[in-house]
Amino acid sequence: MRAPLGKLWLVPTRGAQPVPGLSRGAAPGLSFFVLALVIVVATGCASAPSPLAPQWRGSIGLPGRGVLAEGRQVQANAQGLRWLRDNDRHWAISRFSAAIERAAASVAEQRPGAALAVGDLSTRTGGGPLLPHFSHRSGLDADLLFYVSTLDGASVDSPGFIHFGADGLGHDVVHDRWLRFDVEREWLLVKALVEAREARVQWIFVSEVIKALLTDWALARGESTETIYRAQSVMAQPSQGGVHDDHIHVRTSCSADEAVAGCEPNGPERPWLANDPAPLDEPNEDLALALLAPLESQQLSLSDVILAPWLP
């Protein structure tokens, strides 16, 4: 018989002892509520690091509903970057933090100028909510402000989130001046991220206007077809959270090892980030024979088990 929706029946088993506070004929009452609460807490904690689930590490869960364990902070003094704010929101999984640092350093080496302003990533342990974001909870997201310049082309530090239009101009309200979107240095950043295997870029959330500016620049510069294809595939204007015409929101995807450790894959699979294991050097026929061969040296006899020294 099926229990009514929303109810849980306790089915006694042969030889089981009665649960204190519960009788077979009476309503469960408070003890039943406590039992249900224990079940919910136990299952809810199964996807977070604990003595019961020590295998979870790194990014755990989804970007909008997850936590971060054993992350790494983007260094404030790394080459070519700076924190926009001095807070505890610069944590991500280790490889992603390192990829951001390397991408910023690459831009600084190719086109010296103002440092990349790094906005919010995740907090040290993740979780949420992390206002005003819908995500940024599991170490997979990073807000990177645009590179900007004066109207004369001089590279300057970004004063904050400046909205840029199709003409590439934005108004800096704080300093009452107009700034230009530095499309050259911004493309170098996007290029470095989509080409870096450790970055595993799944999305770059940005406005359609900025995407068009970057794509046009890359085509005019004769960038490789593969790099432009990757950039066009991952750049997208989000449906919520603003059009992102003042920064790029980069999201990295779970690797196969990270998925085993608790990261929940979501979104499209990028063909250049295939999680297929590397091919084996050993021929399939030899491997099959090895698996079918008897493992006599590893078989234990009954006496081995009885006389095992580790048993009390």
Q: Residue 56 has what pLDDT?
A: 64
Phi and psi at residue 67, to the nearest 5°: -140, 175
Q: Residue 304 has what pLDDT?
A: 45
Q: Residue 51 has what pLDDT?
A: 40
The model carries a pTM of 0.71
- Residue ranges in the chain modelled with pLDDT below 50: 1-46, 51-52, 297-298, 300-312
Q: Residue 134 has what pLDDT?
A: 62
Q: And the tokens for 239?
A: 């449906």
Spatial contact of 273 and 254, defined as CB atoms under 8 Å apart: no
161: three-class secondary structure by DSSP: coil
Q: Residue 294 has what pLDDT?
A: 59
Q: Residue 65 has what pLDDT?
A: 81
Report the b/e string of 96-113 with b at 16+ CB within 10 A: bbbbbbbbbbbbbeeeeb
Q: Residue 40 has what pLDDT?
A: 38
Q: Residue 287 has what pLDDT?
A: 59
Q: Residue 13 has what pLDDT?
A: 40
